[in-house]
Structure formats: C-alpha cells, structure tokens
Structure 1
Amino acid sequence: MASRSLFLTLRRKCSASSVVSNTLRPNLSRLFSSGALSTECVQDSQENDDLKSRIFRVRLPKRSVTNVLQNWVSEGNQITLSELRHISKDLRKSQRYKHALEISEWMVSHGEYEVSDSDYAVRIVLMTKVFGIDSAERYFEGLPLTAKTTETYTALLHSYAGAKLTEKAEDLYEKIKESKLSLSALTYNEMMTMYMSVGQVEKVSLVVEELKRQKVAPDIFTYNLWISSCAATLKIDQVQQILDEMRYDLGFGEDWERYINLTNIYVSVGHLVNAESNSLVEAEKGITQREWITYDFLIILHAGLGNKDRIDQIWKSLIMTRQKMTSRNYICILSSYLMLGQLKEVGEVIDQWKQSTTTDSVVSACKRLLNAFTDVGFTEKAHDFKMLLIQKNCDPTNSLE
C-alpha cells in the first residue's frame, strides 16, 4: 500500500509537466522500479518549467519531443521560431540528433513559421545522421526549386564528404558550380576537407584555384586546409607563399596576424633559438580552436625544426583525445620520426597503428613512406610496416603499385 501511495503521489507531481505523456505511461512501472521516475520528478521541481527544460528532460532517444511541443501549445503557450532554432542548436551540440530532427519537423509542418534556407540545410544534415544519406538525398530532391540554394546544396555536400562518398560529392560539386549560385568559402572547404580525409591532398590546391577563379573570399578554415595539404605533401616552401598571401587579406584582424607570425616561426627553421622556443609555447596556448593549425601540420614543422620532444608531446596529446585516428595521422608521425632517425619511436607508432581500428588508407602516401623506410636503412621496420599495410588490407605489392 505504501508503494502504491508513493506511486500516486509521484504521478501527481509529474502531471504538471509533459515528461510523462500518454504515450509514455506504459513505461511508468519500469521507470519507478529503476528509480528514474523519482529522479526526473525531483529535477522537475528544481528546474525552470520552460519549453527547453521540458525537452531536455526527455533524455531517451526513443521518446518523442513532439509530444512535449504539443502539450506546451495545448497549455496556451506560444513557441517562436527563434526559440525552436535555439533549442535545436543546443540539442545538436549534445548530439541528440533525433530530437533535433523532431524540432525541425515541427517547424516545417507548421505553416505559421517562415522556414529559412538554413533551416532546410540543418534538416538535411540531421536526416543524414538519423536516417542516412539516402533519406537526406530524397528530402533534398523533394525540395522546391526555391529551396535548392547554396546552403541546402552545401548541406548535402557536407553529408557526402562526411561519408567519404567522393564520386557523389564531386558530381554534386560540379552541379553546384553549374547552377550559377553565389557560393561561399564553406562549399569549397567541404571539398577540401573530404580530399584531405581520403588522402587525395593533391586535389586541395585545385579547389583553391577554383575558389580564386570565382573570386570567393577564403576564410580561416580555407587557409588551414590549404596549409595542411602542403605540409602533408612536404611542400613547406609553398607554406611561406600562402602566409605571404594571407598578410594581404584584409578580412582578418590582430588575432589573425598573431596566427601568421606563429606559423612563420615554424617555417623559419634557422631562426628558432631557445629564447624564442619558450615564447612559441606560450603563443600556441593563445591560439583559439578556430585559428588552430592542424596537428599534422605542427608535427611536420616541428620535425623540420628537429624538435623531437615537441613532436612527442603533440603526438601524446593527439592519441589521448577521443577523436578517431586516421591513417594520415599515423603516416604524418611516422614520416616525422623517420626524418629524425628515431627507430624506437617508429616501432612504437607501427604497433599503435596495428592495434587501432583504422581501416582507411592513403595509397600514394603509404607507398612513399614504405620507400622511405628502405632509404634510411630501417630494413626491419620496413618489413613490419609492410605487414601492417597488409593487415589493413593495403598490400603494397598490389594496391600500392
């Protein structure tokens, strides 16, 4: 009886909020036995009873936030478009893509909202994450011509690039260019990012050329990707040319100047002395994530400077992050240790690569690296590296020809 009384009391307390809707009540007994119901009710009493709070209390992906929206309106409350966009953005930051998609569906299905190109673009990305590329494609194709804008095209391109669907991305890229739409740097950055991720770094410069031909202003990410592609192919001399070009870009302020100066320190190998080394570390701390040069670029440049300790630190930081390592990351660090003749570290990286779940491969880079092992006299490690490539389904005697 005591349990029954407590159960009824808890249910009454929750009735004021929409956490427990008609569709969720069959799960009450399970929630009660696990203690989840009492926890949610305590939070209900402590948190503000606004729309965002109600939505964020619906934590399980299988539950629907559409019910929360409907209940909120039925209670006589208003929902503004800006509020929905703000909640959707926070849900995406929390990787709650299904619930964010439900917010998007609500916006589109209710005629009183004037949905923007950005709203459609966000919906395409969310559909990719929740239902897959095919669903996103069908949705895009079903959009009216007026909604097939730079933003929605780029959103679909982003989905292709993220899935490394190179051919589809390239076909769409050509279609975008033929559409005569006014493009931003973001569209070109998507292609550059994809080429970097699949190891076709030589195509990055072609995208940059197209961007310049169309007189599109590059942004920080454009330069970052462009510089990284040069570093990945060891074309350090081109990095200086890019930096010189960046100095004349009027779109950046003092922070951008600091970024250029920092990179110049790396490039100017002969001018880095101990006194400057300390200031360099401090300068690195001051660079924001938005301005950050990629880890691969830093590793390559420190290898040129002969700073093994710094390479060790960067590599340790990189492998401690949650981000999945790619073959490009491993190739970069192996190349750097080979440049410095560090046999022990080369062996350690090969072992780490073997234990990783990374399956992608950069064919041309792997072949160059395998040849480099022999060139520096690391015959035994060359054999180990060849076995690693075979393990990763990248047999140098076949696919690397």
Structure 2
Amino acid sequence: MKNDTLLVHAGRDPQAHAGMVNTPVFRTSTVIFPTLASYQDRKSHGDKFVRYGRHGTPTTYAFEEAVASLEGGYKTAAVPNGLAAIVASLTAYARPGAHLLMPDSVYTPARRFCEGRLASWGVRTEFYAPRIGAGIAGRLTPDTVAVYCESPGSQTFEVQDIPAIAAAAHARGIPVIADNTWATPYFLRPFELGVDVSIHAATKYIGGHSDLMMGVITANETHWDAIHKAVDDLGYSVSPDDCYQGLRGLRTLGVRLRQQMGNAVEVARWLERQPQVAAVNYPALESHPDHALWRRDFGGAASLFAVELRPEWGGRVQALVDSLTLFGIGSSWGGYESLVNLVQAGASRTATAWTPAGPVLRLHVGMEDPQDLIADLKQGFSAAAS
C-alpha cells in the first residue's frame, strides 16, 4: 500500500473493538488471568499479549504496529520521548571496550549521553564527518558495535549517504542506527536504505500538535530482540493515552507534511533572496550542497531548516527574533505552529568545523499561510534594522 493508505489503515482493527474506527484507550496495570496455568504460560502468547500494563495494552500495540508498517521495519517499541529512543537504541549495543561511531552533527543530548554515561560504561565514541559516505569503512574497527546516522544533521542539515554507510558497515557485520525524525517514515523509508534500527522523536511530526512527548524505535527482525530487551531493561513504558494521541497524529501526517513542506520551500526561497541572509541550510533548495542526495533518497522535506545571517546582524538578531509575531520562540518542532530559535553555531562539534560568518536562526515553518509568515519576517528585519 502507498503511504497515504497506510496512514489511514495501519494499526486499525474495528471488528476487534465492537466496530469502533479508532482503537480504544485501554488503561491498566493489572491483568487478570482465568487460571494459574494461563498466567504461568503467558509468555507463549507473543509480544502483543497483554500481561502487565508496563509492557503495553492493545492501544500501545496498535500504535507500534502502525509505525512499523510505515517504516517498513519488523517491530516498533514506543518509549517516553525522543532521547529515550536514542538512549535505548545505543544501550542495546553498549559494552565495555566497545567503539561507537556518531556523526559530528548529531543532536546535542545524544552527544552528551555518549560523552558522559556511555563513556563511564567503557564505551569509546568517535565522531565522524557527516558527509563521509563510504569513507566510513576507514573508521570501523574490530570493536565497532554500531554506526549511528542523523540525516539531515541537527542545525547544519547535512544529508548523509546512508546506503554507502550501511554497505560499508554491513560488510563488517555492524548495524546501522538512524534518527529519522526530520523526514518521518512518510518522506523516508530507512530500511530500504540499509538501516537496521530507526528512531524518532514522535513528539515532533508524528504527534503533530505540540501536546505529546514520545519516542519510537523500529528494528528489523535481526536486531529486534536486542532493542526490545534494552527497552525492557530500562523500564520504559508509554501511557495508552499517549499512544492514542500518537495514532491520531499519524492519520493526518501526510496532509500536514505536504502543506508544511510547501510553506517551508516558499519561505526558504524568499529568505535566500534577502540581503540580510548569507545562506539557507535546507536540503530541498537547489542551492544546498546535498540537494542531489536528498532528491535521490527522500520523498520530501520537513519544514525545519536553518538561516545563516550576515555578520553585521550579530548585534541585531535578538531584536529580530523578539519582533516576530507569528514565529513563537520555543523548543521542539513538528507541530502546526511556526517557531524560531537561535542556534549556538558549532558549539558542540569536535571532528569537523562549522563556522558561519554570522548568527544562525533555526526556523520551523508551520501551517500558517506562507505569505503571512514572509510578511512577519519582513517586518522583523525592518524592525531590527531600525
């Protein structure tokens, strides 16, 4: 089935729930069994058997099944947030003496987890240039347990050649983990590119309404047991109410993404033409150095990108941001509303340099009319200039 059809039908079984089109919210901690033998034999019923609330309910399983179908993976585990998805996926392979490869453009909390907690467990993390591609083979060692990708990279939006990275890693029997939050499974099916474990902050586009905290981890059949055990060992669980919200967000994911991409492209192209702007880091633009790679692997683009301003705007950027009325100042992205934030350019990179000439803004373009957003930016530039 095509993505839009999957979004409507995945994870739904109305006849199993008295004909209700949406899977109901099942709330429970305790599950009662009819006999002692059935209680003791509960594990033989498989992953979707409801045996204790921490392990999930039919609502949880419906959401996880829908995500796995969209991703093209074997199974999915829901966890409390995006960072929990990162932590569990890395913990699944962590061991003393292990070597882990992470892109230098990785999400900063993921870097902190590697440099802090994983280092204390005896795991050595090496950060590599995001655009290394097949050159990753030269970084692999006998102790390498996983290669992690994030494409596009946080803040800088480099697109990684995941098929080339996966081919090199798989030649040595090493799994590839990828953060697919930006593209979502609607615009990128990671397992078709060679990824073994795909993670998301479902807080973002999957939830879609800025009212949900959740992460998901999808694995292929080979790596599912390791992921499932790590999630269980860490004690992660997600409320059925949140899984219901996640399912509701999934149903409109395609419609929202298509509109937000269209809005973002219009706003980004306008910004490219402004004299105050040095560069727009957005793979959907022809000017982006990885545009061809993005066109090869992705079916579309998220509505999140970065804007590099010219050096003289260093003293004006706060006035610019404060004067905006439609772009809210806040963390997160992927909701229906537009957001703006100031990027600490290059602050967390160690293997490669990113030194923009001026201040960098990260924009998330929501579902407002793009002409209204452009007008807001235009008045912001005027207010800050004066």
**Greater share of residues in helix:** 1
TM-score (norm 1): 0.28
Relative to its length, the structure with more strand (as a share) is 2
Higher RCO by CA contacts (8 Å cutoff, separation 6 or greater): 2
